[in-house]
Each structure stands twice: as structure tokens, then as C-alpha cells.
């Protein structure tokens, strides 16, 4: 856009040049008329040319300034650690707050302290399969398989599983865990028949894990899903703080430190050494893909089950097999899948029969705290 003063100069110069031409053409020939006309033509031409050149120069300068700004911004973004950029941006938008760190960590998939993003866990292709199998009138088995393909190669050799029956831990483990790869099992306790320990042991035996990794020579290896066996070890109470920062006195910035002893009966932590899972003395440099399958014992009376993203995941779809879930005194069971995410392709607004498997297309990014809930009702309640 040409500034208003350059526009005025151009218009004034053009008008002066036109008047000078008219003076030369229409007034009787004479020295005075000739001088006046020539001066007007010269002045107008110079003014018009100055305005045109000024507009061109200004336009080129603005173009170069925009280019320089883009190069500088891109260079700053490439050089600074992602966490530092996110912290400054959130502080500018939301104001100063210790809680901004949780937002940044959830958005980035980690602390973001490494310039190349090597400490971020982001699955750019994620698929989730659910199968619900009735055990008796009170309980069912939730068989869940998750397949992750990571945007950045994950430099880790440890996978951790958290199993808890405490609602508070269920809601805080994802934000309190600083490990790149982990899984969360939540088991709602039956007040009439406590069985957290038995349920966890059953889940432990059900674990199947597969992966694709790169070794220290950059070679790619695939490991078929298998049980970790003795390489799945339980973490002792005194070491819980290594995995969850809210069990450390110097951990969370908001000072919400929890006492480990209070959760002795409602939390168990397991770790899997991935090189041992790969076998043959494998050296794991980075993880590219991961498959984790497990079976958890749940209560039918809950009326729902869910999957929650442990780190940023672009979820393609979820597959539900509900053909083996039966409710007492109901000839048929109806289901409704509800995503809670930034955006999604949408889910049917009506309840559908679970007589056949179904797929829910999502094609959406999900951050920690986002996920999908699968709800059910007996036929008589519809």
C-alpha cells in the first residue's frame, strides 16, 4: 500500500505537469508563459517521478523487511529449545503462571529442553483397538491394543506401566510422569469385593509388546509382540519418585507433593527393559514404533470405558468389538462412542447395537487429557 503523502505528491506532480502543458499550448507565446509552463512541467514531472520511485523503493524495502523477519523468526525457532519458545509464548498470552508449564508439556509431548526436539514424544499415526468380553454379570475383560508411530525417534530403553485404583492418581499420572514411553491402567475397585491386586496380576500376565527400533549403527529392527516375561519388573516403593515427580519433594512447581505410603494399596509400577525384550544383545538407540496390548478386568456397572492419550497423538481411528459383552436381563446392548478432543470427524449421535464390530474415524490430534469414551446401556433403558 502506497502511503498517503506519496499519493498526494504523485497527484500534485501529475496535475502540475498537465497545467504546464496547457499553459504552453493555450497561452500566447511569450517568455513569461514559456518559463511558467516549463517550470510547471519540470516540477510536475520531478514530483511525479519522486513519488513513483518512493513508492517502488518503499514496496521493495517492505518486501525485504518481511523476508528478513521470516528468516530471523525461522532461525530463532530452529535454534531455541521448543520448551523455551512455548514458555515465552504462553507467558505472553496467559500471563505468568507455574501452570503454564503443564500446558507446554502437554502440547509438546515433553519438557522440550533439547533444541532438536529429541526429548519429545509425539505419535503422528495412532490406532486403538478395544474388545470387551464378559466374564460374569459383574465384570468384563477390556482387551486394548495401541499402535504408535513416533514423529521423532524416541531415545529410551525403558517402558513403564502404572496400575492404579485411585481416581486422583488416574487424573494426575499423565501430567506427573516425565518418562517418554508409558502406559496407564486404571481399575475401579469393587466395594463389595476388593480385587485390585488380583486384577493387576492378571493384567501383568496379559501384556504383549512389540516395537521397531534403530540400533547404534542406524539399522532398523522389528520385534514381534510378545510377553516381556522376567524383564517386566516391579518398581519398589522407595523408587516411585524416579517415575512420578509428585512423589518427590523437589518435583512439582505448585508444591502438590503426595505421600507414597498413602498409595501403597492403590498403585503399582512396572518397568520393561526394551533391549532385553529385543534379545540377542540388541542395542536400542531409538524407538520408532510401539505396540502395546493388555487385558484389564473392569466392572460392567461402570457403564463406560475409555482411552486417554498419554502424549500428543494423531489418532486415525478406533475399532470396537463389543459382540461378547452381555448385560444381565437385557437381550441386547447399545453403545455410544464419544470423543473428547480438540476436533474429530464426529461420532454418531444415536446409540447403536453392539451386535457387530464398529469403527470410529477420528483423524484428530489428541493431547494428554483428550481421549474417547465408550458408553453402553441395556436395551430396556433406550
Query: Which stretch of 216-230, 339-353, 367-381 has the lowest confidence by average pLDDT?
Result: 339-353
pLDDT of residue 274 exceeding 80, the answer is yes
Residues 228-243 pLDDT 10s? 888 899 999 999 988 8
* Section 240-265 average pLDDT: 81
**pLDDT at residue 172, as a whole number:** 84
Q: Which of 9-13, 55-59, 80-84, 343-347 has the lowest mean pLDDT?
A: 9-13
% of the chain exceeding 70 in pLDDT: 75
The pLDDT value given to residue 65: 55
- Measure the CA–CA gap between 12 and 183, rounded to whole angstroms: 74
Q: Quote the CA–CA distance of 187 and 184 in Å, as a whole number.
A: 10
Is residue 114's pLDDT more than 90? no
pLDDT of residue 20: 45
Round to whole Å and give the CA distance between 187 and 197: 10
pTM of the complete model: 0.76
Place of cell 500446558: 103
| Strand arrangement, sheet containing 139-154 | 220-226, 208-214, 286-299, 139-154, 123-134, 313-324, 358-366
**What is residue 16's predicted lDDT score, i.e. its pLDDT?**
46
User: Which pLDDT belongs to residue 39?
Assistant: 47
- 142 φ, ψ (degrees, to nearest 5): -100, 110
Stretch 9-21: mean pLDDT: 46
Question: What value does the mean pLDDT take over residues 311-321?
Answer: 92
Spatial CA neighbour of 173 closest among 293, 311, 274, 318: 311
pLDDT, one tens digit per residue, over 131-170 is 999 998 888 999 999 999 998 888 888 899 999 989 888 8
Per-residue model confidence as pLDDT tens digits over 34-86: 544 454 445 445 554 555 555 565 666 666 556 555 555 565 666 778 888 88
Cell numbers that stand for 299 in this block: 466392572
Other C-beta atoms closer than 10 Å to the C-beta of 43 total 16
Of 159-168, 184-193, 342-351, 357-366, least confident by mean pLDDT is 342-351
State residue 344's pLDDT score: 64
| Model confidence at 342: pLDDT above 80 | no
Amino acid at each position: 500500500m502506497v502511503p498517503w503523502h506519496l499519493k498526494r505528491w504523485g497527484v500534485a506532480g501529475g496535475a502540475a505537469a498537465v497545467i504546464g502543458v496547457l499553459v504552453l499550448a493555450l497561452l500566447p507565446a511569450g517568455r513569461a508563459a514559456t518559463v511558467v509552463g516549463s517550470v510547471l512541467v519540470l516540477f510536475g514531472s520531478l514530483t511525479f517521478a519522486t513519488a513513483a520511485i518512493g513508492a517502488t523503493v518503499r514496496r521493495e524495502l517492505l518486501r525485504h523487511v518481511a523476508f528478513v523477519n521470516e528468516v530471523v523468526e525461522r532461525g530463532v525457532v530452529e535454534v531455541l529449545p521448543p520448551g523455551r519458545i512455548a514458555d515465552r509464548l504462553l507467558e505472553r498470552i496467559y500471563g505468568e503462571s507455574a501452570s503454564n508449564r503443564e500446558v507446554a508439556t502437554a502440547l509438546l509431548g515433553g519438557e522440550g529442553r533439547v533444541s532438536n526436539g529429541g526429548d519429545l514424544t509425539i505419535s503422528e499415526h495412532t490406532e486403538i483397538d478395544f474388545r470387551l468380553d464378559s466374564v460374569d454379570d459383574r465384570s468384563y475383560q477390556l482387551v486394548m491394543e495401541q499402535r504408535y508411530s513416533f514423529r521423532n525417534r524416541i531415545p529410551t530403553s525403558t517402558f513403564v506401566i502404572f496400575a492404579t485404583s485411585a481416581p486422583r492418581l488416574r487424573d494426575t499420572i499423565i501430567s506427573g510422569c516425565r518418562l517418554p514411553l508409558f502406559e496407564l491402567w486404571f481399575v475401579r475397585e469393587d466395594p463389595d469385593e476388593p480385587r485390585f491386586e488380583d486384577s493387576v496380576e492378571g493384567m501383568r500376565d496379559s501384556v504383549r509388546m512389540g516395537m521397531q527400533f534403530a540400533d547404534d549403527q542406524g539399522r532398523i529392527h522389528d520385534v514381534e509382540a510378545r510377553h516381556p516375561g522376567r524383564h517386566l519388573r516391579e518398581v519398589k516403593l522407595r523408587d516411585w519418585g524416579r517415575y512420578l515427580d509428585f512423589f518427590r519433594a523437589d518435583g512439582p512447581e505448585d508444591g502438590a507433593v503426595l505421600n507414597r505410603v498413602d498409595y501403597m494399596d492403590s498403585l503399582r509400577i512396572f518397568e520393561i527393559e526394551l533391549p532385553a525384550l529385543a534379545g540377542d544383545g540388541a542395542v536400542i538407540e531409538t524407538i520408532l514404533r510401539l505396540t502395546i496390548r493388555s487385558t484389564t478386568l473392569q466392572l460392567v456397572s461402570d457403564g463406560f470405558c475409555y482411552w486417554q492419550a498419554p502424549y500428543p497423538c494423531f489418532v486415525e481411528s478406533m475399532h470396537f468389538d463389543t459382540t461378547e459383552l452381555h448385560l444381565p436381563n437385557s437381550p441386547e446392548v447399545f453403545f455410544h462412542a464419544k470423543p473428547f478432543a480438540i476436533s474429530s470427524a464426529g461420532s454418531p449421535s444415536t446409540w447403536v447395537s453392539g451386535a457387530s464390530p464398529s469403527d470410529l474415524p477420528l483423524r484428530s490430534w489428541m493431547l494428554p487429557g483428550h481421549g474417547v469414551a465408550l458408553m453402553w446401556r441395556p436395551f430396556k433403558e433406550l
